[in-house]
């Protein structure tokens, strides 16, 4: 770590130690060191010719349900095989030491924050390990109870062919009721906002850094590369989640 980054880390540690309220926003880079490819990394193998933005949409699913279902099935396997990294653990430790101080908002659809022990994680883009029905249908008890599905790629309703889809928020879909309002309030009220591992390309999540900045919070971004929201940061730490977060949060 160079001298400039070391100075920035020590200043951030001081601020996190003194803060009344902290908001952390994480993106796919948070899980990269756990072996889960980031959203915009070139898709591996079969998927390299496909656009994740297209696959992660209702239109993409309706156009080729089996292709999209298989893409999620492969990603789900990757999430199940992955383990939380030192960055996830560091955030969970900080939360344990300061009950009620941290609001952790994630764009990620994996469960690594939760498996590291973080509680009350605010998921803006849903949960890749959950299923739900594509449509409301009269043959099924609810949108989220897919127990009545017959197996398949994707599974479907035996009575009307309604398809099962992953419980994530696709491009063009609204975020979960109230999630963004809660996240905006946390960004508005915090003294320190830490943004980890996001390109800042996806809205409205990307707007949270600006909400915090304009409300007077100290905004720090941790990312090995530049992001589209760096202009909202007081400091940009060029490093990785597992490499830098433990040093930022240890003993704070």
CA atoms within 13 A on the CB side of 224: 10
Task: Please give the radius of gyration of the chain, using alpha carbons only, rounded to the nearest integer.
Answer: 19
Per the annotation, the verdict on 88 as an active-site residue is no
Q: Which residues pair with 106 in a beta bridge?
A: 26, 123
Please say which residue, 93 or 200, places its beta carbon nearer to ligand BV8.
200
- Please pick, from the candidates 198, 232, 237, 249, the single residue that binds ligand BV8 as defined by CB under 6 A: 198
Q: State in angstroms the smallest separation of the CB of 135 from ligand BV8.
A: 19
- Please pick, from the candidates 201, 215, 230, 235, the single residue that binds ligand BV8 as defined by CB under 6 A: 201
Cβ neighbours, 10 Å, residue 150: 11
Sheet with 218-222, side-by-side order of all strands = 122-123, 102-106, 22-26, 192-196, 218-222, 235-237
Which H/E stretch holds residue 25? strand 22-26
Q: State in angstroms the smallest separation of the CB of 87 from ligand BV8.
A: 7
**Does the footprint of ligand BV8 cover residue 39 (CB under 6 A)?**
yes
Please say which residue, 21 or 186, places its beta carbon nearer to ligand BV8.
186
- Please pick, from the candidates 163, 169, 237, 252, the single residue that binds ligand BV8 as defined by CB under 6 A: 169
CA atoms within 13 A on the CB side of 112: 33
**Does the footprint of ligand BV8 cover residue 82 (CB under 6 A)?**
no
**Does the footprint of ligand BV8 cover residue 229 (CB under 6 A)?**
no
Residue showing the smallest CB distance to ligand BV8 in the complex: 29
**Does the footprint of ligand BV8 cover residue 247 (CB under 6 A)?**
no
Select the span of 113-121, 157-165, 185-193, 201-209 touching ligand BV8 (CB under 6 A).
201-209
State the catalytic residue, choosing from 125, 136, 139, 234: 125
**Does the footprint of ligand BV8 cover residue 107 (CB under 6 A)?**
yes
Asked if residues 31 and 125 have their Cβ atoms less than 8 Å apart, the reply is no
Please say which residue, 21 or 227, places its beta carbon nearer to ligand BV8.
227
**Does the footprint of ligand BV8 cover residue 232 (CB under 6 A)?**
no
* 250, 4, 237, 227: CA torsion to nearest 10: 180
* 173, 179, 125, 26: CA torsion to nearest 10: 140
Select the span of 22-30, 59-67, 133-141, 186-194 touching ligand BV8 (CB under 6 A).
22-30
SS3 115: helix
**Does the footprint of ligand BV8 cover residue 171 (CB under 6 A)?**
yes
Sequence-distant (6+) residues with CB within 8 A of 71 are 47, 50, 55
Give the span between the Cα atoms of 160 and 51, in whole angstroms. 30
Supply the angle between the helices 241-249 and 86-97 in degrees, to the nearest 10.
Answer: 20
**Does the footprint of ligand BV8 cover residue 238 (CB under 6 A)?**
no
| Site of interaction with ligand BV8 (CB under 6 A) | 27-29, 32-33, 38-40, 56, 107-109, 125, 168-174, 196-199, 201-204, 223-225, 227, 240-241
- The catalytic site residues sit at 125
């Amino acid at each position: 770590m160079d001298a400039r980054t070391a100075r920035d880390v020590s200043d951030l540690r001081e601020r996190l130690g003194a803060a009344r309220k902290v908001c952390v926003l994480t993106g796919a880079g948070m899980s990269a060191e756990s072996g889960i490819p980031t959203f915009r990394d070139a898709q591996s193998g079969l998927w390299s010719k496909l656009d994740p933005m297209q696959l992660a949409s209702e239109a993409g699913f309706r156009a080729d349900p089996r292709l999209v279902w298989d893409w999620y099935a492969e990603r789900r396997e990757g999430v199940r095989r992955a383990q939380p990294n030192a960055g996830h653990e560091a955030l969970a430790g900080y939360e344990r030491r300061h009950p009620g101080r941290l609001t952790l908002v994630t764009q990620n659809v994996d469960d690594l924050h939760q498996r590291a022990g973080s509680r009350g994680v605010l998921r803006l883009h849903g949960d890749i390990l959950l299923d739900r029905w594509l449509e409301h249908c009269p043959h099924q008890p609810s949108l989220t109870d897919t127990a009545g599905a017959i197996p398949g790629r994707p599974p479907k309703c035996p009575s009307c062919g309604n398809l099962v889809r992953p419980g994530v928020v696709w491009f063009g879909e609204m975020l979960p009721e109230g999630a963004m309002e809660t996240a905006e309030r946390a960004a508005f009220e915090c003294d320190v906002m830490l943004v980890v591992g996001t390109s800042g390309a996806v809205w409205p999540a990307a707007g949270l850094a600006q909400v915090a900045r304009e409300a007077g919070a100290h905004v720090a971004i941790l990312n090995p590369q530049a992001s589209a929201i760096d202009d909202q940061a007081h400091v940009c730490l060029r490093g990785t989640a597992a490499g830098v977060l433990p040093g930022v949060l240890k003993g704070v």
